[in-house]
Homo-oligomer: A and B are copies of this chain.
Amino acid sequence: MAPCLPSGERRVSKNDKKIATRRMTLKTVAEVLNVSTATISNAFNRPDQLSAALREHILQECERLGYNGPNPAARSLRTGATGIVGVMLAERLAYNFRDGCATEFLQGVSEVLDDARINMLLMPGRDDFYQLQSLESIPDRYIVYGPPRDIGVINRIESQRKPVVTVDFSLPNHLSLNVDNYGGAKQAAKHVFSKMGAGPVAVIGLRLISSDYVGRIKDRALLDPIMSISRQRLEAYRDAAAEVGIEINGDQVWNTHESNWADGVKAAREALSATPRPQALFCMSDQLALAALSVARDLNIKVPDQLRIIGFDDIPEARRSHPAVTTVYQPSIEKGRLAAMMVLHPDRYESRVLPTQLHIRETG
């Protein structure tokens, strides 16, 4: 079908065929443009290795030819780096999209990474995800947000010998970023006791034990304070109670599995039907406190007159609710930003504990 063309035309036609037929690679582009592969590579990776004009020309031609830049798999195989930051989450991913505190943290992380043009890979903390392939080798650096459910993934990450920043827990020989859970919780509890004196209290805890049980912890084994921020908060509540001469035992502490409405309502309902009824509820998240507040309303219990409620985190809803929730502020977004900066420049930072701050509002 194709008419016979003069040789000049034929050459173009040959190139066009190359363009139409093959998938574009650095090599085909080099052939079409009649330069070496090294030159194309340099155009993308080392602007200083060739003239600005040539680089510009190459980049334009690549665009025209539909070559979008070096293949990341090949590049990363060659260089051993991907430029991706892994964000290892303690649980399933879905949980982190549900929890206000986690999303604020991720927001902070993504702000910094986005600005730096760095991609982030969200990784679940479950072993089965990494079993048959070493997914953990994709990122160049890691932010580990909370102790992963399966300890195996920690080993996999450590064996990579890449920069790691742990958040809300610590690992030997790695940068860590924590928040003053104990101090904040203690201050809040002391405030409550200073208002109400030594009365009965209950704690609505969050993942104090490793199962998904929701209810009184009684004498169940609790997670270690080193790995569990909730445990740190619990000890603070207990110490504050001890200072006014009362003891918080396992019958007055509820466990929830997730910081959500349903768990909060269930725990608060149980706690508020205990005898004697608690005069204060120490909740380990604002979400739980908000749920407790709604239960109190249903039960016609006046807050704060008959019941004081304190939360933790200081999410926006805590401030906006009526009555507004007294809570311990932690800088979640800032924590995310800082974690990202730390992992990008490990040498410029040291491990830190960020301050928390009691925000006294209407519920406690």
A residues lining the B interface (CB < 8 Å): 44-45, 66, 68-77, 82-83, 92-94, 97-98, 103-104, 106-108, 110-111, 113-114, 117, 119-124, 128-138, 156, 159, 261, 290, 294, 316-317, 320, 322
Lowest 5 A-B CB distances belong to which pairs?
A93-B110, A68-B134, A97-B107, A73-B76, A73-B77
20 intermolecular pairs with C-beta atoms under 8 Å apart: A44-B133, A45-B132, A68-B134, A68-B136, A69-B132, A69-B133, A71-B134, A71-B137, A73-B73, A73-B82, A73-B138, A92-B110, A94-B108, A97-B104, A97-B107, A103-B103, A114-B124, A117-B128, A119-B129, A122-B122
- The answer to whether B94 and A117 have CB atoms under 8 Å apart is no
Instruction: Give min CB distance, A162 to chain B, whole Å.
Output: 13
Instruction: Give min CB distance, A86 to chain B, whole Å.
Output: 10
Complex CA distance for A73 and B76, rounded to whole angstroms: 6
A107: which B residues are within 8 A, CB to CB? Answer: 94, 97-98
- The answer to whether A69 and B130 have CB atoms under 8 Å apart is yes
Most buried by B among A71, A94, A103: A94
Instruction: Give min CB distance, A81 to chain B, whole Å.
Output: 10
Complex CA distance for A316 and B321, rounded to whole angstroms: 13
- The answer to whether B123 and A121 have CB atoms under 8 Å apart is no
Q: A97-B107, A120-B122 are in contact. List 10 more A-B contacts (CB 8 A).
A: A69-B130, A70-B133, A72-B137, A73-B77, A73-B138, A93-B110, A93-B113, A97-B103, A103-B103, A294-B320
A156: which B residues are within 8 A, CB to CB? Answer: 68
Instruction: Give min CB distance, A58 to chain B, whole Å.
Output: 12
Instruction: Give min CB distance, A45 to chain B, whole Å.
Output: 8
- The answer to whether A72 and B119 have CB atoms under 8 Å apart is no
A159: which B residues are within 8 A, CB to CB? Answer: 66, 68
- The answer to whether B69 and A94 have CB atoms under 8 Å apart is no
**A322 in contact with B320 given A71-B77, A111-B94 (CB within 8 Å):** no
- The answer to whether B110 and A129 have CB atoms under 8 Å apart is no
A98: which B residues are within 8 A, CB to CB? Answer: 103, 107
- Our pick among B108, B119, B261, B316 for the contact of A121 (Cβ within 8 Å) is B119
Complex CA distance for A138 and B123, rounded to whole angstroms: 16
- The answer to whether A134 and B69 have CB atoms under 8 Å apart is yes
A111: which B residues are within 8 A, CB to CB? Answer: 92, 94
Instruction: Give min CB distance, A122 to chain B, whole Å.
Output: 7
Give the residue name and chain of the B residue nearest to A161 (CB). Answer: B23
- The answer to whether B110 and A135 have CB atoms under 8 Å apart is no
- The answer to whether B110 and A97 have CB atoms under 8 Å apart is yes
Give the residue name and chain of the B residue nearest to A66 (CB). Answer: B159
Complex CA distance for A187 and B317, rounded to whole angstroms: 29
A108: which B residues are within 8 A, CB to CB? Answer: 94
- Our pick among B92, B97, B110 for the contact of A94 (Cβ within 8 Å) is B110
A94: which B residues are within 8 A, CB to CB? Answer: 107-108, 110-111, 114
A45: which B residues are within 8 A, CB to CB? Answer: 132
- The answer to whether A316 and B133 have CB atoms under 8 Å apart is no
